[in-house]
Amino acid sequence: MSSRINDGLWAWKQAENNNRMIAFQDGTAPAGPGCVELSFFGSSAFRITSPAGVTIMIDPWRNPPWGNWDWYLYDFPKTQVDIGVSTHAHFDHDGLHALSANVLLDRLVGTYSFADVTITGIADKHVSDSSHNAYDWARMTRELTHMKTDPPDNWRSFDNSLIVVETGGLRILHWGDNRPNPPERVWAAIGAVDVALLPIDGSEHVMSYAQVDAVIERLKPRITVPHHYYSWDILTRGSTLLPADAWMKTRPHARWLTEGTVRLPADEVKAMPPTAMYFGNHVGFTKPNPKERPVGA
């Protein structure tokens, strides 16, 4: 066990408070955007803003806590949200401590409802077969550590909660790093999906392209949004990830976004042909200027 296990969360130090939640609770909160907004924060992090203005951050990231090497060039941006959610206990998904959040839902299983948002966590398992990836990181994990990766007796970091956010007439699924072939009970629990946030990158780190296509065929979302891919000024090359550009170029209906936030009116989404929507290197926060960082930092 880490000698710093008692560090814990630092909400007790935060100057912010839950006044926004009280306002939503009492029906006195300021008007929100009126439709769903989706913002990309790099890696697998997304902020969903409900029509009423409730903000949900899913899978904020951090660098590996063991400190030997970094995935990210800097810390997750200081962000205030109403609800923070993590799909699983891997460093590139579980940086909930980086948020100033009123509510934290870590590896949610079950349903949480508040204001105009319902969030459901469906328990399943992290991908444990990465033989399609050049580095086969899951096999290396098994061979170089004593960690168990294969279900059902895997360690907790190889659990995963699929997250479904229902708001503004849309059902948005964050896949996390779930295995591509969950049992039928999981598919039934997911149900119909309008927007699927899927781990798609050129290295096929989580799922192979064939597995991604099979998941899309099963879910039939109107919009598929890649995440867990390489961004040159957020992630290091040591992450081994690649951009999702090559996959996007195979999509018959591809929308390359030019900003880090997109508005998703439900009626427009439901009328769309199946579309791949890609944030690329655009994010919903101001990135640090690399020229302002000390050399070697």
pLDDT of residue 238: 86
pLDDT of residue 178: 98
Would you say the pTM of this structure is higher than 0.75? Answer: yes
Residue 286 has pLDDT above 90, yes or no: yes
Task: Write the pLDDT tens digit of every residue in 253-283.
Answer: 999 999 999 999 999 999 999 999 999 999 9
Q: Which two tokens stand for residue 173?
A: 């699924």
Rg (the chain; Cα; Å): 19
Q: Which two tokens stand for residue 63?
A: 């660098």
Which H helix or E strand runs over 248?
helix 245-248
Residue 296 has pLDDT above 80, yes or no: no
Task: Write the pLDDT tens digit of every residue in 190-210.
Answer: 999 999 999 999 999 999 999
Which CATH code for domain 30-292? Answer: 3.60.15.10
Residue for token digits 């099963």? 218
What is the DSSP track for 175-203?
-TTB-SS--HHHHHHH---SEEEEE--TT
Task: Write the pLDDT tens digit of every residue in 227-243.
Answer: 999 999 999 998 899 99
In Å, what is the CA distance from 156 to each residue of 9, 90, 107? 19, 10, 10
Measured over the CA atoms of residue 198, residue 202, residue 204 and residue 205, the dihedral's sign is negative
Residue 129 has pLDDT above 50, yes or no: yes
pLDDT confidence tier of residue 1, bands split at 50, 70 and 90: very low
State the chain's mean pLDDT as an integer: 93
Residue 56 has pLDDT above 50, yes or no: yes
Percent of the chain residues topping a pLDDT of 90: 81
Residue 290 has pLDDT above 70, yes or no: no
Q: Which two tokens stand for residue 169?
A: 């007439």
Helix (H, G, I), strand (E, B) or coil at 167: strand
Cβ proximity of 162 and 87 under 8 Å: yes
Task: Write the pLDDT tens digit of every residue in 165-198.
Answer: 999 999 999 999 999 999 999 999 999 999 999 9
